[in-house]
Every structure is written in C-alpha cells, then in structure tokens.
Structure 1
C-alpha cells in the first residue's frame, strides 16, 4: 500500500461521481473522517454537496479533462490537504499512473499499489499469472495492435470471438464478432469507446464460452491476511454490462464453490495484492471454471455481498489503506440468506436499450433510500427531482438491493420492491426487471450470460421474437402500472400473450 500513515486518515478525497461517492462518504462519516468530493461543469449533485465536507469543481469541459485528469485530481487533493484518495470504480480506479502520482505526492491511494495494478489490472498479464498458478483460463490473443491482428486470431481460432479491453471494466470496449463483417465494425467502435472511457486503445480477443459469470470478493491487508467474502453471480447482462447481481451465486455445488473461493485467494496472494478486489470466473454447465480477470477495485455490485455477510467493504478498504489488519478472519465470515441487486439504468427497453436523457421529475424507489449495511432493502443512488441525466456519463440511476432468507424469498421481495418503485423524467429499466423476475430460467437459477440475448428469444421463438421485442413488451409493465395507454400499430397475438404473463400478479 502506498505511503501508509499510522496515525489514521483525517480527510479523504473521493475521485468519482454519483452513488459511489455517497457510499464512501457514508462510511467515512461513521469513521469520523472528513471528505472532499469533486464535480464538473453540468454535473453538480445536491446530495453529494450536502453530504461532503468540501465539494470542489474540476475545471474542464470533458471527461478526459476532468475525472480522468490525474494532475487536476492530485492538485485538488493537495490544496485540501487530504490524506488519501478513494477512486471508487471506473475512471482512474485501475490506473497505475494515478496510484504512482498519489504516492509521489505523499497521498495514500486506497487500492492496490501501482505495481500490482500493472499486473493484476492488466487482463492479459493477469491471465499469465493465473496460468502460472495452474488456474484454467480462456484461450485468447495478445494485444491486438491492428485490425489485421484481430482477423489473424479469428482465422486461427474461428468465430464467435469477443473483443475486450486490456484494462478497465463496465463492459467498455467489449464486442462479440460472429463473422468477418462483425469484426470489422466491432474493432473500430471498441477502440473508440476505450479511448473515450479510459484513454487507452489496448484490446485483445478471446473465444466465446457459454457459461455463468461468477466472481469472488476478496480482501487482503499488509499483514499477509487474505480472505474471501464468498461469491456473487453476475450472469444477467446486456452488452456485457451487468444488470442483475446476486450473492451468493445460485445453483453451484458446494465443492465447486469452495474451489473457486480458494482459487481466488491463491491468485491474490501470488501477486502480493493489498486491498479489496474481485476475482472473476466463467462457470460452464458442466461446472468447469475458468479464470476471467481481476478487478482491482470496489465493484458496483459490492452491496449484495455486504447484505449477506454484514461486512462493510469500504470500511475494510480504508482500514487496509491505513496499514491496519482486517477486522475479520475467514472463519468469521458467514453468508446469511440471499441478496439480489437490480441496476436501474436510464435506457429505453422498447428501443433496444437506447440511452434516455432528461430531467428527473419524480423518484420513489422502494421503501428505503439510505445505503445501510444491515437491512432488507437498500437503495444506493444520487438521484433527486431536478437532476439532469445526460449521455456523457454512465447510465446507472440507482441500485436497488433486497435481502431474503432464501433466493426465492429474495426474488419475491425484489419483485415487490420494483412494483413500488418509480423514476419519472427518463426511460428506465424497472419494468424490464419485473419481467425478468418472472422467467422460469431465472427463477431456477439456470440463466447464463446469454440469457437476455438468446434464452428469452428461444422461449418465444415460435413467435419469431427478436431481443428488441422482448424488451419492448417487458416495458409494457411500466405503462400499465402508471395508467399510460399502450398502443401498437396493429394487433399482435404474441404481444397479448407476453403482456398477460408479465402483468399478472
């Protein structure tokens, strides 16, 4: 850990925006630590301004000149004499140059060291490390410097394949190419997206594998202690962006669960990792698991793990950064019940998840809007009436998290919470999640990463259904429950069948 201070932190800067800023502030307040938050032109948030001790504008007109500008973030930190910087997720959270800049300026980076980020945070390097540890990995390429390199990999390994960013997360830059024409289009768009999101154009390719997406939450301190907080399942995805997460993962044999947890800790130890992180795997229908990547930061979905274990992961991050040992041992970690998270995003399901922007005119999400660790319903959000939602940033509006004694009870609780939730002013995915909560494949815990793109289509294949129409019909719940009239250009028997299914109580 960089520049550890034995006397503890008095002030922390959160180099991020949105709900994760409020989440970190919440724990800092409990620990008696002052906070500095940042914002940009057009992105000021009244909730963050009220919660933070200082709220400072980063000068600039683009993401690259503000939230991704290392010098500006460091200068603000120095001006306000902060002891540490919490990077949240996204932006600079996995950037080794940022970690180095913090160390150079006597500021603790709350995360792994720059050296570890260069290894564990780089997906190709992390795969090499996993292979050396005897951990199975998915076959992939080296860095693809040109489109020609991508075509060479495809020729040698066949389609379909996935293009991936060598660093960063959130599905940025990920594309499936099913043929040569796809690859030509995907390569250029992926490169552009990576440049905008991470100021990077390092990309590689992997073979597609039909599987579940399983990840293990790990914690490692400077005293040699490494533990895991069990696993999560993140198989319900759209365009490689996670939509629904659960803890623990469903339908996994106990022996496989133990193997995955132990493998994650083994890998973390091998790179001298310090901090909170996530080790991700693909689990095939035959229960073979393959290492995918290490996310060397806090995850968007960390809340479901907190709900079932009662462990405040942000608190542990801060303790670790101060040089303190973990407050818990592996034998102390117990997973109680089941938690599910729905990421409510500003996209229109009726239009193939097209982005939606506008001004929030009303909001009422379930029964609770405070990110408490021990509760049955938790909402992590920085929304309020009057805030503008625009395309410049991530589409996440809120995270709705529920807990139940069993997976089935958690699903029922989520359905009830979604029914009592509304966000007005922009299109969102609340209704679509109600549709998903009723699907047999999801209820039985058998959904893989292809669930939305393929499984739902197959369910209604006799109707020649496209993924776009699945989303369109699912969104009918929202109009129905808010008494908006639903109209279609002409009668459609499939529409009526699915409407009856998704609207039934």
Structure 2
C-alpha cells in the first residue's frame, strides 16, 4: 500500500478519498486554489499545496503544477477524483512519465472510451449491445440525414466527444433534422472543440441504468451490480438508487456480463462505470463508459458492503481484487440525493452564496456505509462560489427494502436545513414523494411528467409559514427586553389591544397578517380571517419552536437571513420574505452606508453615479454569478458618496461596492 497520495481534486470527493486513506494509514496531500484556501478538503488532508487562481484553468487543471506538488511532497500516487483531470488521457500519461501511480485506468483505456463514436465501434466488436444508429466518421449533413431516415424517426443526435447533455438533440421529423444537426455541431464545437456527432434511434421512455465494474492488474474483473440513474434534469442526475427497481436476476447477469466485456475490451484497471440506456421491456444498449469513480458510488457501497475507494487504492498498488464475482451479494436498497446550489423554479440555474445555515440529520455518518450517510465538502459558513460545481452534498440512505429506504430518505431530507442561497432541497423531497418515484415508474422524463406536482406551489401553507414568522418575531421581541418599560416590545398596553402587522411575500404573492396582543393571550389573524386564532409559541432553542395556531400544532425550525425567512416543518419547508418595518427602521438608524457584495461574482451594471440622490429600494448595481443576476438596492434614501468598483470587475464576497450617505 502507498504511504502518501496526492488528491488532485477538491470538495466532497477529495474529502471522501482522504477519509478512506486516513483509515488505511495513508497520508494525504491536498491541492487548492485561491478560492479554496480555507476549504474543508484542505483541512481533511495532512498537507496542502497551493496551485493558483480560483478558476479551474488556473489551478486544478494545471497538470504541471499538480505533478510538481506531488514531487515536492513525496507523494507516490495521484487520485484524480471525478471531474477536472480524472478522465484526461494526457494527465494519466504525465503521471506515469513522472514516476507517479495514477489511481485510475491506463491512459489507453481513457483514450479508447473518450470518443463516443470510437467507443461504440469498439463495443460492437466486443459484442456489447448498441442502440441502432450511425457511429462513423462521415459527417456530411446529407449523409447523416440519410442515416437518420434509415434508422427511423425519432432519432437522437449526440456530440461524439460530449457529455452532460451538451450537443444533444432529439429529432421527431425529417424536416427538423438539418436545423438540429447544425445546432448540435455548433454546441459540440464550442463545448468540446470537436463537432463530430453520432445519430441513434431515440428510445422512448428510456431508463438510465449503469453497471459498476472493477478490474485489477492481474486480469481480474467483477461487476458490482447496477444503479438506476433515470431521474434527471437537463440530462444530469438528481437521484440514484441500487439495485434498479424491477431488475430480474437474469437481466442483471446479462448487463453485468456486457459491462465486464466492455472493460476487458480496453484492458481496464480500477473503478469504472458502463452506462446503458434501457427500454421499459428490459432491452438495453451501451451508451458510454465513464473511466473514473462516479458521484453515485456510495449507493453501490451501501448494497455490497465494500469501500470502493479502498479498492481503488489497493488495485492501483498492484493488489488483486479483494473478492471474486461469486462472492458478491446484494443487500437491501440504497438511494442517493444530490443536494445542489441551484434554483429549480428558474430552470435549475446554479446559485451562489454563503451557507448561513447547514444543519444535517443527527444520525448521519460521513463517508462510511450507514443507514443515513452524508458526504459533504462544505461546512456551515462556507461559500458556494461561481467557479466550481454547484453540488453541496450527497445524502445517501440504506434500508432493508426500497420502501424503508424511501421513508428514510424523506425523513433525512426533512432533517436537512440549508439557508443562505437557493437549493434543490425542497424539490428533492417533492420528487421522492411523487407518485412516479414512489411507485418506481421510472424513466428520464419523470421530472417533466410530474411537473405539476414538483414546481410552483410552496410546500407549507400560509398558516404554518406565518405562524413560524410570528414565533420568530416574538422571540426577537423577547430578546429586546430592557429595564425601561417604555422600550419593551412585548405588546403590553395600558388600554386596549396592541397590533403588529406582518407583511409577508410567499411564492410571489403579498400577504398581510396581524399579530394581536389581547388580554387573554396572543391571536394571529391570517388574510381573510376576521377574528383570528389563538397563538402559542415556545422556544426550544437552536432556532426551533413549539407552535400552536388554533387546533394545529407544529415543531418548526425558523431561520432569518435579512428579510428572508426559512421555515422547516416535519412535512416540508418554504421560504418567504418578511418586510419587517420595525427591523428596517432600526437598520436605517444604524446604517453605516456600506453596501457589500452578497456573493463572489462580476459587476455587470452600475445604475448610479457619485453624488446622485437615491430612494430606498432603488436599483444601484447588478452582479452576475453562475449565470444568475443579483440586483443591489438602496436600503434607505440617501446620496451615493463613492463608487468603489467599475463595471466588468470581479468582486469578492463581502467587498464594499459603494458608499451611501443616508438622507
């Protein structure tokens, strides 16, 4: 076994590899960019080496700097993780040339599977089933259109060198083919520097099923069974599970044999995944091979009881596979949910910001097989920057069967609280509870098919959300108590009842509720309610409240981030805006005039000049981060004293953008 390895990656996968290495007594070296100087993966390793600027091309993709870091620290091997250089043939060769062990497949295997078209030709020779289509080198539009007509519509045009849904179009009719082909070629050229495409029969209601394979340097190969990755958005995975629902032992054996044949055909070594597209009747076809460890490998670990990163290290060190095919058994069912910084209501655009709150299930174990597992590369307080992948963490659950795993996943998602930026957390819970997923009616169009249930409506009703805001308001008021009775905010009046307006915005709709302090207690009057309902709240500590409104009682977690309130209940969560006039008045009185960047990004517009008078709420500047625009508005009436950045400047989170003198 190695004494020291360098992990040429960041985030969750770097932490994951470091955890197994530590357990095996292997020392680890982290690499990091300017943006990751304080990152979790740096702290998880024994040593760390700085690579360069925050953009991947200036740091994590710099092959020579990574190799120099390995040489300088005495690392014997390099683990590439996934993404970045993990499937880079040149990097694998450079490691070998530098006398370092690349913890992955041979460069020749990466090259063989790097082109979709070449890989399919190779698989055809190996007897692996292929989707009927054309995978050759001829690229004349007339020829490709003729191939499409021979295959029969609908067809799928795919970038030969691509992935992630880029350069891919489904074509239903002949008159749509030429425009779709031109679009695919443009996108493929821009994304991969290669406009070659292939044309295949479009499989209706396809399932995405992949087989985890492993090979060693002694000619040993095993299939570690399948994962179903059919639940996708924008051709990228959302939920993954093992085993695939509805898989028969005969079909599992057939797919495993085909996957091992694919690995043998390229002399594969280490962990790899052979991806298949499957028809509803069980027929399956080779799609591609990922020559690395997959994001979703924990569900396989959960159902076979083995650490796949340990296997990677042992195989790379020259050891044989630890078990033979006949010794492997499936146990129970596992599901993984990818928690991402993105906005499902805005076509899943990535989001940036700081994890003001990141609470996870108390029972969750990190980087180890367990009934509830959470693999994360971030901590509460960390920022999700615009430079890297938007994934925050992976939540993995295991159960004796799929029903138990589903119940555990729903519960674990409900116990996960994230505040500070848009995430897909509530969306994931809706998917898990959807009819199609619950009944294992799976295909890659599940999200679109369940659109009405998955988008638009808040998970909590107005009454529950408002009761949560009221509990928070009462707690904040209690915290403001002083010895001066005239400064108290507890609602006491010598005559009559005190009232407090709660101006809220939920799912784009404005609502006004009233919190009334009567002699017989508190009442909350919701929109349309003339009399109000009795309200009782009790703080449970740690942002949690016992709340009773009329006949309804909840245990709620309520978090405040400026005007934004997140309310978490056992059955769901929602975010709303509280236009708190009391807090705004206090803020205005103490405002220092500083306006800072809420996230790292680019300043793309300035709507004001120095000396200009502005009104509260007026747009002052616009920042862009990860393709999303964020408008900076004036918190109060005033005069712009100074602009501290120019349009086009890259701005760090928390940087002061301009100074405003309150009127």
Does the Cα contact within 8 Å between 2:31 and 2:42 map onto a contact in 1? no
Aligned mate of 2:202, from 202, 208, 216 = 208
Aligned residue in 1 for 2:120: 127
Counterpart CA distance in 1 for 2:506 and 2:424 is 17
How many angstroms apart in 1 are the aligned matches of 2:437 and 2:197? 32
Task: Name the structure 1 match of 2:192.
Answer: 194
What residue number does 1:471 align with? 455
**Pair 1:106 & 2:99 matched:** yes
One of 393, 398, 422 as aligned partner of 2:393: 398
Q: What does the per-residue CA deviation read over 1:309-329, in whole Å, with 9 as the maximum and x for residues that have no partner?
A: 111000000000000011112
The 5-angstrom pairing of residues 214-293 of structure 1 reads 214-293=209-288
- For 1:163, which of 138, 158, 173 is the aligned residue? 158
Is 1:437 paired with 2:457?
no
The one-character-per-residue Cα deviations of 1:121-167 (angstroms, maximum 9, x if unpaired) are 43222211211122221224446879898777667755552423526
Bigger mean CA deviation after superposition, 367-376 or 251-260 = 367-376
Contact 1:277 1:294 in 2 (8 A): yes
How far apart, CA to CA, are the structure 2 residues paired with 1:93 and 1:407?
A: 32
Alignment size in residue pairs: 469
What is the alpha-carbon distance in structure 2 between the residues aligned to residue 147 and residue 67 of structure 1?
A: 38
- The 2-side partners of 1:102 and 1:86 are apart by 10
Choose the corresponding residue for 1:313, options 304, 308, 314: 308
Question: Is 2:68 the partner of 1:47?
Answer: no
Q: Which residue of 2 aligns with 1:344?
A: 339
Whole-angstrom CA distance in 2 between matches of 1:237 and 1:288 = 20
Q: Are residues 166 and 177 of structure 1, via their aligned partners in 2, closer, same or farther at CA, if it must alter by over 3 Å?
A: same
Report the equivalent of 1:35. 28
Q: Which has the larger radius of gyration?
A: 2
Q: Residue by residue, what CA displacement relative to the aligned partner does 1:363-391 show, whole Å, maximum 9, x if unpaired?
A: 01223554343310000111212222123
How many Å apart are 1:173 and its aligned residue? 2.3
CA distance in 2, matches of 1:107, 1:481: 56
* Deviation for aligned residue 1:65: 2.8
Aligned-pair distance for 1:305?
0.5
Alpha-carbon distance between aligned partners in 2 of 1:404 and 1:144, rounded to the nearest angstrom: 49
Partners of 1:111 and 1:275 within 8 A in 2: yes
Between the aligned partners of 2:36 and 2:415, the Cα distance in structure 1 is 28
* Contact 1:476/1:486 (8 A) holds in 2: no
Deviations 1:68-105 (A, max 9, x none): 22122111111112100000111111111111100101
Aligned to 1:73: 66
- CA–CA distance in structure 2, aligned partners of residues 45 and 378 of structure 1: 24
Who is 1:456 aligned against? 450
TM-score for both structures, normalised by structure 1: 0.86
Deviation at 1:262, TM superposition (A): 1.6
Unaligned runs of 5+ in 2: 470-504, 512-570, 574-663
Q: CA deviation at 1:14?
A: 0.8
What per-residue deviation string (whole Å, max 9, x for no partner) do you get for residues 448-493 of structure 1?
011113x224xx5xxxxxxxx94333x64599779575244599xx
Shift of 1:254: 2.0
Quick check: 2:36–2:54 contact (8 Å CA) kept in 1? Answer: no
The whole-number CA distance in structure 2 between the counterparts of 1:430 and 1:372 is 20
> Residue deviations 1:426-452, cap 9 Å, x none?
111111111111222212212101111
**Cα displacement string for residues 159-201 of structure 1 (whole angstroms, at most 9, x for unaligned residues):** 552423526x5x1625334445555445434433336xxxx76
Q: Distance in 2 between matches of 1:142 and 1:60?
A: 40
* 1:19-34 alignment runs, 5 A limit: 19-34=12-27
Shift of residue 207, structure 1, vs aligned partner:
3.7
Give the helix-richer structure, 1 or 2.
Answer: 1
Contact 1:232 1:247 (8 Å CA) reproduced: yes
Structure 2 CA distance for partners of 1:401 and 1:81, relative to 1, 3 Å: same
Which residue of 423, 436, 445 corresponds with 1:428? 423
Scaled by the length of structure 2, the TM-score of the pair is: 0.66
CA distance in 1, matches of 2:341, 2:134: 33
Instruction: Tell me which of the two structures has the higher relative contact order, counting C-alpha pairs closer than 8 angstroms and 6 or more residues apart.
Output: 1
The 1:144/1:452 distance shift into structure 2, 3 A limit, reads farther
For residue 358 of structure 1, what is the aligned residue in structure 2? 353
Aligned counterpart for 2:7 among listed residues 14, 19, 41 = 14
CA offsets 1:263-322 (integer angstroms, 9 cap, x no match): 111221222211111111111012111011111110000000001111100000000000
